[in-house]
Structure 1
Amino acid sequence: MKNKILILVSILALSSCQNKDNSKNIVKTVVQDTLSKTLGGTADLSEATPKEDKAIELIRKQLNVLLKKDIPAMTKDNRYFYYDAFDLNNDQKNEYLVGFSNSYFCGSGGCSGYILNNDGSIINSFTVTDFPIYVTTSSTEKFYDLIFESGGKFHLLKMKGGKYPSNPSVQQVIKGDVPKETTKVLDIQGGKLEKYSF
């Protein structure tokens, strides 16, 4: 990014030295516009190579271990995931909620996924879930309680012995709507999460 700005500034300086008539200097105008948009954060940097997120690499590595036996049976279209980060235990480090939305991981009862620690180790796997997942304001064993939708009903999952229950459909049903003070995570159907291959 700094290199691009330096190049733009250099072009601006050179162009202003070569042509004293600012009204006719198209290059200078384009450079100034691009420079101001870059500094203001409004430039289209879609051509810039995105830096790989450490969390994505960590999740990829763990999925390749967790799904080692499954990978040979998967098609390329099945080998992608979504994730969302949330500090579930207030230790100032995000945990990663990982979900899938393809036929290998999803069936009539819902989809499968994982909850990983910040270091990539597994906290939980889960099944028969519809996304999103909701993080409540209450906690058990220093981890926030979660609400999963399964079978058209909302179920409350509480940490027990260092794990959340893996099958939400057999947990306590919440009557009514999801409380407003919850935080929505892993909203795959919301369309705002990136899809990553593994």
Structure 2
Amino acid sequence: MKRKILITAIILALFSCQNKEKPESRNIIKTITEDTLSKTVAGTANLSEVPAKDDKTVELIRKQLLVLLKKDLPAMTKEDRFFYYDAFDLNNDGKDEYFVGFSNSYFCGSGGCSGYILNNEGIVINKFTVTDFPILVTTSSTEKFYDLLFETGGKFHLLKFKNGKYPSNPSVQENWKGDIPAASPVVLDIYAKKLEKYSF
């Protein structure tokens, strides 16, 4: 093992010397790769230097939130400006919808928290208020969208998709009677799944 590390170090040293004559020809990927390899060989690699995942969905949601919350931004602290999201195809069209939730004092009160459901292009399907997470997806549907169960005030409420959106206030919708279906998919399970939070 020591021999392999020594050979790798010698190759890197030779490679580095050859490239010193033409620094402008080195590209950033090669530089990062060499740096990571040399740190790994030396035992000084720090995995915290790896950038956080920032995919297209996160960027789509981030841009939409900056528009939707434009008037709120001046009153928000840095700690207020983060979100969680979860994806689920609510209408079986092969494209996920995005559940966006918050868990700080700006968006949450004694009745629960607020959030959004966005379509695959980032357009708001609706805003929701006073809910506790997670949100459950039932097997029944209305207007081709799955019915949802939102918990608020310790009770589950059934939300049905009508006229292009779900109701915004779950607490005034009909109470769910009976047991919660065990097979119900769970979305925005912020606490149990420890979903990653993103800034906006």
TM-score, normalising length: structure 2: 0.76
Instruction: Report the Cα distance in structure 2 between the residues aligned to 1:47 and 1:79, rounded to whole angstroms.
Output: 23
For structure 1, which runs of at least 5 residues remain unmatched after alignment? 1-7, 16-30, 35-43
Instruction: Report the Cα distance in structure 2 between the residues aligned to 1:95 and 1:108, rounded to whole angstroms.
Output: 27
Query: What are the residue-to-residue correspondences of 1:73-152 with 2, within 5 Å?
Result: 73-152=75-154
Instruction: Report the Cα distance in structure 1 between the residues aligned to 2:197 and 2:134, rounded to whole angstroms.
Output: 15
Matched residue count:
165
Q: Which amino acid in 1 is paired with 2:147?
A: D
The residue matched to 1:64 in structure 2 has which SS?
helix
Instruction: Report the Cα distance in structure 1 between the residues aligned to 2:163 and 2:8, rounded to whole angstroms.
Output: 62
2:74 matched residue in structure 1: 72
Q: Which amino acid in 2 is paired with 1:58?
A: L
1:37 matched residue in structure 2: none
2:187 matched residue in structure 1: 185
Instruction: Report the Cα distance in structure 2 between the residues aligned to 1:117 and 1:123, rounded to whole angstroms.
Output: 6
Instruction: Report the Cα distance in structure 2 between the residues aligned to 1:13 and 1:176, rounded to whole angstroms.
Output: 69
CA distances 1:88-123 after superposition (whole Å, capped 9, x unpaired):
111111110000011110001100000000100000
Instruction: Report the Cα distance in structure 2 between the residues aligned to 1:176 and 1:162, rounded to whole angstroms.
Output: 28
2:196 matched residue in structure 1: 194
The residue matched to 1:187 in structure 2 has which SS?
coil
Q: 1:89 to 1:45 in 2, by over 3 A?
A: farther
2:15 matched residue in structure 1: none
2:170 matched residue in structure 1: 168
1:61 matched residue in structure 2: 63
Instruction: Report the Cα distance in structure 2 between the residues aligned to 1:113 and 1:142, rounded to whole angstroms.
Output: 22
Instruction: Report the Cα distance in structure 1 between the residues aligned to 2:125 and 2:133, rounded to whole angstroms.
Output: 18
Mean Cα deviation higher: 187-196 or 83-92: 187-196
Instruction: Report the Cα distance in structure 1 between the residues aligned to 2:193 and 2:96, rounded to whole angstroms.
Output: 22
2:22 matched residue in structure 1: none
The residue matched to 2:129 in structure 1 has which SS?
strand
Q: Which amino acid in 1 is paired with 2:59?
A: E
Q: Superposition RMSD on alpha carbons, in Å?
A: 2.3
1:11 Cα offset (Å): 2.7
The residue matched to 2:79 in structure 1 has which SS?
helix
2:31 matched residue in structure 1: none
1:27 matched residue in structure 2: none
The residue matched to 2:147 in structure 1 has which SS?
strand
Q: Which amino acid in 2 is paired with 1:131?
A: F
Q: Which amino acid in 2 is paired with 1:81?
A: F
For structure 2, which runs of at least 5 residues remain unmatched after alignment? 13-36, 41-45
1:11 matched residue in structure 2: 8
